[in-house]
Amino acid sequence: MPVTLPKEWRSSDRQLLTCPARWYLANAYPYNTLTPIWFIRGNAIHAAIESIIAEGLTLDEGLELGATILTDGIGEGVDLWSKTDPDPETAIYNTATCIRTWWQQVHPVSEERADIYKTLDWPPRVEVKLTAFGAMTRIDAVFRLTGEPRTVVLVDWKTGASKSDDTQLWIYQRLIEEQHQVKVHAAWFHNILQGKIQQANPYPGDDIIHSTLGAMLALRGAGHYPPLHGWYCQYCEAQDMCPIQPGDSDLRVDTLSPTEVRWVSVTSPEGMSRWR
């Protein structure tokens, strides 16, 4: 069964280590995946933030843009709701709360701007592209330290209740220092739904990067993606296709060992040698 998978590395690809089947099914059969509300809401918030930064939108304009994107997304259909967003009204409220909280804590015109952002230049660069193993990933925001143009701070906006893993920011740090010749001063997750900032621990060295990305590469190259049961199953966008989920879905996929996998390359794979 030939399958084409995208070769764009994303932080969410770490779910490959949690459940290989989820990663495989969501990428191989995107048209059969369920649409979760947290994906729609996250896209709306990120788009509003990026437009505020890049286009100089006001808070009201950002709120309007976020609401429009969210409403359009909900209108196309939501298959999975959550405890955080059990209905459209709550999702709309949470979207506005995130954008407003982000503005208050981050934007330079806000009188409530968090101290941790006051030593950083404005505006930051958004959606900064990096490559790893011949694939592409992005950092939400890269701020320059005021007065030190080659020293940066990495920020990942979190819009839900999911747990943060320092490994994500460590990978970003390792890649951006090598590919953009800058020094990372600090990195943090900013959960803008809760209004909390979680600084990553200091970079521990390349061993953890090697082990994490190496394990992901090994699973991707093995050609077999076993399903693993866990608490996350109830939130899985590929659950209708999963062979271990209960029910009689017509979309059930029994073969998780495709005979041929074609990768769609977006960049040169030469970077792989750096991590061996």
Show the CA angle centred on residue 60, arms to residues 57 and 62, nearest 5°: 50
Lowest mean pLDDT among 13-17, 97-101, 210-214, 270-274: 270-274
pTM (two decimals): 0.85
Cβ contacts of 222 within 8 Å, gap of 6 or more: none
The mean predicted confidence, pLDDT, of the chain is: 85
Q: How far is CA 118 from CA 49, 105, 144, in A?
A: 18, 10, 11
CA-to-CA distance for 50 and 166, rounded, in angstroms? 23
Bridge partner list, 273: none
pLDDT given at position 49: 98
CA-to-CA distance for 228 and 21, rounded, in angstroms? 7
DSSP code of residue 114: -
pLDDT given at position 189: 96
CA-to-CA distance for 29 and 245, rounded, in angstroms? 17
Pairing of strands 2-7, 183-191: unpaired
pLDDT given at position 270: 36
CA-to-CA distance for 68 and 81, rounded, in angstroms? 19
